[in-house]
């Protein structure tokens, strides 16, 4: 199999060459795939690509568009599990998909998924007192407008959801004033970026002997840049959800709720860090 996987592009190696090997052979060498995707060339590509994207966003708006950087925590981060991948023809093959950027091959968390996690917290706050209390507490920590009450949040959150994330009847429509969620990108790591893991679903029968499902994950201690253009909105700038406050609120939501799949069992946990491009 080692002779079959030749590309240094992580996406092509996993989605094309690995699949080709699985279709041709009765077994696959997952260790060879990890050796390819974690080589120094890929790490250098990711670091250079990350630098260009971080600097480009800073040029749009050095304050509100400056990326928020996080470091993954144990056990890591799982992205793209919903993508089909299993061929069913090779023993030990990776059975679920993974999200890579098509061009650079770098692990990539889509903007739509990032937007969905953040929006869900806002939506829940409309009818759930626990989420309402959470947003109120965070706003009191990050806002420079003095004390924020739950009544303040209730008064402004509807306009925030519609103008920033999209109207309730059409989540894609924001009248051109919504924040732009570019996604989250791996930009640096001194260790392996990608690793193997398994999940063992029991299904509806807790006594059933589970069959492990092999998957890829982003390893702990990998630096990820979350890229969101938090835009000024005339309707919101005089409210508790002005653009500077929203960005700080997004950062807290990402830290507190995580990113990616399997967050209920610990994956996707991140902590904010200060990352300096060199």
Q: What is the pLDDT of residues 138-151, one digit of tens each?
A: 999 999 888 999 99
In this prediction the pTM is 0.86
The residue among 220 and 202 whose pLDDT is bigger is 220
Average pLDDT value for residue range 195-219: 83
What six digits make up the tokens of 264? 């209920």
Looking at residue 214, its pLDDT comes to 86
User: Which pLDDT band holds residue 31 (cuts at 50, 70, 90)?
Assistant: confident
160-190 as b/e, with b when 16 or more CB fall inside 10 Å?
bbbbbbbeeeebeebeeebbebbbbbbbbbe
Looking at residue 96, its pLDDT comes to 86
- Is the pLDDT confidence value at 267 over 90? yes
What six digits make up the tokens of 102? 């098509």
Q: Judge residue 208's burial from the number of C-beta atoms within 10 Å of its C-beta, 0-12 exposed, 13-18 middle, 19 or more buried.
A: exposed
57, 75, 183, 194, 204 from 258: Cα distances, Å: 23, 12, 14, 18, 27
Of 87-101, 146-160, 220-234, 261-275, the poorest mean pLDDT is in 87-101
- Is the pLDDT confidence value at 188 over 90? no
What six digits make up the tokens of 177? 């004033």
Looking at residue 1, its pLDDT comes to 44
User: Which pLDDT band holds residue 173 (cuts at 50, 70, 90)?
Assistant: very low
Q: CA dihedral defined by 182, 53, 256, 246, rounded to 10 degrees?
A: -60
CA–CA gap between residue 105 and residue 256 (Å, rounded): 28
What percent of the chain lies above the pLDDT cut of 70? Answer: 89
CA–CA gap between residue 181 and residue 164 (Å, rounded): 10
- What are the residue boundaries of the structural domains of the chain, listed by start? 10-272
CA–CA gap between residue 57 and residue 60 (Å, rounded): 5
Average pLDDT value for residue range 48-53: 73
């Amino acid at each position: 199999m080692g002779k079959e996987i030749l590309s240094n592009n992580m996406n092509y190696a996993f989605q094309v060459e690995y699949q080709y090997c699985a279709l041709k052979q009765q077994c696959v060498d997952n260790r060879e795939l990890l050796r390819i995707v974690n080589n120094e060339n890929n790490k250098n590509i990711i670091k250079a690509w990350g630098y260009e994207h971080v600097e480009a966003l800073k040029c749009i708006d050095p304050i509100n568009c400056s990326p928020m950087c996080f470091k993954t925590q144990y056990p890591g981060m799982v992205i793209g599990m919903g993508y089909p991948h299993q061929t069913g023809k090779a023993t030990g093959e990776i059975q679920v998909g993974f999200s890579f950027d098509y061009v650079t091959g770098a692990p990539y968390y889509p903007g739509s998924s990032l937007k969905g996690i953040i929006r869900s917290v806002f939506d829940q706050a409309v009818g759930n007192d626990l989420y309402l209390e959470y947003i109120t507490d965070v706003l009191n920590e990050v806002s420079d407008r003095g004390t924020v009450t739950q009544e303040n949040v209730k008064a402004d959150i509807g306009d925030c959801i519609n103008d920033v994330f999209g109207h309730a009847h059409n989540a894609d429509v924001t009248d051109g004033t919504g924040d732009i969620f570019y996604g989250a990108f791996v930009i640096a790591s001194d260790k392996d970026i990608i690793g193997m893991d398994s999940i063992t679903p029991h299904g509806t029968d807790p006594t059933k002997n589970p069959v492990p499902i092999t998957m890829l994950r982003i390893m702990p201690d990998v630096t990820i840049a979350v890229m969101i253009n938090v835009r000024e909105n005339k309707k919101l700038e005089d409210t508790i959800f002005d653009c500077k406050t929203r960005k700080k609120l997004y950062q807290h939501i990402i830290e507190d709720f995580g990113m990616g799949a399997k967050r209920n069992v610990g994956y996707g946990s991140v902590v904010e860090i200060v990352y300096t491009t060199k």
